Amino acid sequence: MFENNSVSFKSESKTNDNFIIKCAVRDLEVKRIISSAIEHHAVVHTCEEMRDQYGVALDYVNLDEKGNVDIKHLEELLTSSGEKTLVSLMHINNELGNILDIDRVAELCQENNALFHSDTVQGVCHYPIDLEKTRVDFIVGAAHKFHGPKGVGFAFIRKGIGMKPLIHGGSQERGSRAGTESVHNIVGLDEAFKCAYENLEADTVNVKGIKHYFIEEITNAIPNIQFNGESGDLDKSTYTLVNTRLPVSPEKALTLLFQLDIKGIACSKGSACQSGSGKGSHVLTAILPEEEMLKPSVRFSFSKHNTKEEVDYVVGVLKEFINS
């Protein structure tokens, strides 16, 4: 996957997203960034800092009502300026599960001499990514997303792109970051990576079946449930998550996550990074009407370790809560 290119290991994907975006501005003379309003905060906040601190132009590509990137608008943005541009769009949205046409975006970036960074955390080890075919310049991954250890991730940098370190004082990671490597975590990432791709086909069928079963059962139990983004469509979203919008009052919604938690159900109202946060989802705020934001949205994730019996339990708890 990474032959003849550069891979560096850092604490996790947020660090790598920061490293790539900041170094693109500092070392690669990027004067303009094109991104979207529903990227991970590691990208959104870093792009905003580049705009506010360094005067980099920041444009957001249009989204449709489901949160999909408007490819035509992206093409218009790319052709509207001759400035050195970095496009930063995630492969799979971590809250909605929407899948970007990463090949088409890579083609547009090549045609317009733009650099392409994609936060591929949700896709690595769940979908094959052929970096010889898909000419993305930078991708990132996090081991815990494919059953590896927490606290370690990688950045892929296309061969020939020179970037200097943000942290100085040592020559670790080919000089990209000073600091002693967490070797045991890197070994764990490597083993989890190999295991995930060796079992990719079987695990995909298994987990996709669990998500399909969840959608069927929750729809039967709660007919007026809604799915945010494309998460209810197995063809347009990742098989590893679903984002539901439940038909309960704003007052009752306040206790939903608490009730699920005491029943032993792990879920979140946004990304896993926001679980426990009192703030609403910036992703849902960007695509939903204000009145729909009053309904509670809950994201459930699936893995090869989940079972249909667990789905039955979750659906039963949700049905009981809504009908109580």
Catalytic positions, written as ranges = 273
Strand order from edge to edge, sheet including 297-301: 226-227, 241-245, 297-301
Q: Which residues contact 248 (CB under 8 A, 6 or more apart)?
A: 256, 295, 296, 321, 322
- What tokens were used for 17? 């997203």
Alpha-carbon torsion 22, 157, 38, 60, what sign? positive
DSSP E strand boundaries for 211-251: 226-227, 241-245
Place of tokens 């989802």: 281
Q: Which residues contact 284 (CB under 8 A, 6 or more apart)?
A: 95, 228, 270, 293, 297
Tell me how far apart the alpha carbons of residues 198 and 65 are, in angstroms, rounded to a whole number. 37
First to last CA, the chain: 51
Rg (CA), the chain: 20
Tell me how far apart the alpha carbons of residues 136 and 131 are, in angstroms, rounded to a whole number. 7
Of the candidates 154, 98, 160, the residue with the CA atom closest to the CA atom of residue 135: 160
Of the candidates 225, 220, 218, the residue with the CA atom closest to the CA atom of residue 245: 225
- What tokens were used for 251? 């007052």
Task: Return the number of other C-beta atoms located less than 10 Å from residue 140's C-beta.
Answer: 28
Of the candidates 5, 13, 8, 47, the residue with the CA atom closest to the CA atom of residue 30: 47
- What is the 8-class DSSP label of residue 145? G
